[in-house]
Amino acid sequence: MQIGRVIGNAVATVKHASLKGWKLLLVQPLHENAKPDGEPFLVVDGVGAGAGELVLISSDGVAARNLIGDRKTPVRWTVIGICDQ
């Protein structure tokens, strides 16, 4: 799990069937000192996070498949919480 900041979102019409109806957030992973840690990437949001929010993201592919409800989804990263501080 990692802390990240929501810095945008993506819209896609043509996509893997399992992604239908899911919000795709562009998340910048952060170090503990709030400095960027690597490149931003797209994360599936099941929590309802918005732009600028600090989120907890998980790379558990099994959790992603459970959340989306599709054994064949290519998703790895999901938002699992919004951080207060």
Partner 1 sequence: MRLAEVIGTVTLSRPHPSVAGFKFVIAVPHTRQSLLGGAKPDGEDIVVYDDLGAGDGSKIAFSDSAEAAAPFYPEKKPIDAYCACLIDSLTITEGK
Check residue 33 for interaction with partner 1 (CB under 8 A): no
Distances from the Cα of 53 to the Cα of 12, 21, 27, 74, angstroms: 22, 21, 10, 25
Check residue 2 for interaction with partner 1 (CB under 8 A): no
In this structure, the number of other CB atoms found within 10 A of the CB of residue 29 comes to 17
Among 21, 32, 33, 39, interactor with partner 1 by CB under 8 A:
39
Contacts to partner 1 by CB under 8 A: 5-16, 19, 24, 26, 28, 36, 38-43, 51-52, 61, 64-65, 71-77
